């Protein structure tokens, strides 16, 4: 099969999309190589579809909080988040503060 014009390629891609067939089955039925069909489909995709998506950023809000009470006693509370993160607080830290922190992180 000779070179096929872009207009014809577009028509074949539209026919494929309407067919509900696999690329392999459609290519065999049309008498074209599946790799050819795939390359036409790839080249016909809009640029924004082909580009990888930008990473999703999550807003972070930093709020002022009162200094924990009980500072200077040397005793610590540990808050484990997963297996790799451990945050330590002085004993006597307000439990409401810890609860807010956990709910913000979770």
> Residue 1 domain-assigned?
no
pLDDT in tens, 35-52: 999 999 988 887 655 556
Expressed as residue numbers, the domain containing 71 is 58-106
pTM metric for this prediction: 0.43
Q: Are 64 and 106 within one domain?
A: yes
**16 touches 39 (CB < 8 A):** no
The number of folded domains in the chain is: 2
Structure-token pair, residue 91 = 């004993």
Higher-confidence residue: 30 or 80?
Answer: 30
Residue range 48-69: mean pLDDT, rounded: 66
- For residues 69 and 42, membership in a common domain is answered with no
User: Quick one: 93 exposed, middle or buried, by C-beta within 10 A (0-12, 13-18, 19+)?
Assistant: buried
């Amino acid at each position: 099969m000779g070179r096929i014009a872009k207009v014809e390629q577009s028509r074949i891609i539209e026919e494929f999309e309407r067919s509900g067939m696999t690329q392999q089955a459609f290519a065999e039925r049309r008498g074209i190589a599946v790799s050819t069909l795939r390359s036409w489909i790839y080249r016909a995709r809009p640029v924004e579809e082909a580009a990888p998506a930008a990473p999703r950023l999550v807003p972070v809000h930093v709020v002022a909080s009162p200094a924990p009470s009980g500072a200077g006693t040397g005793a610590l509370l540990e808050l484990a988040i997963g297996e790799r993160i451990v945050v330590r607080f002085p004993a006597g830290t307000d439990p409401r503060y810890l609860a807010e922190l956990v709910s913000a992180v979770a």
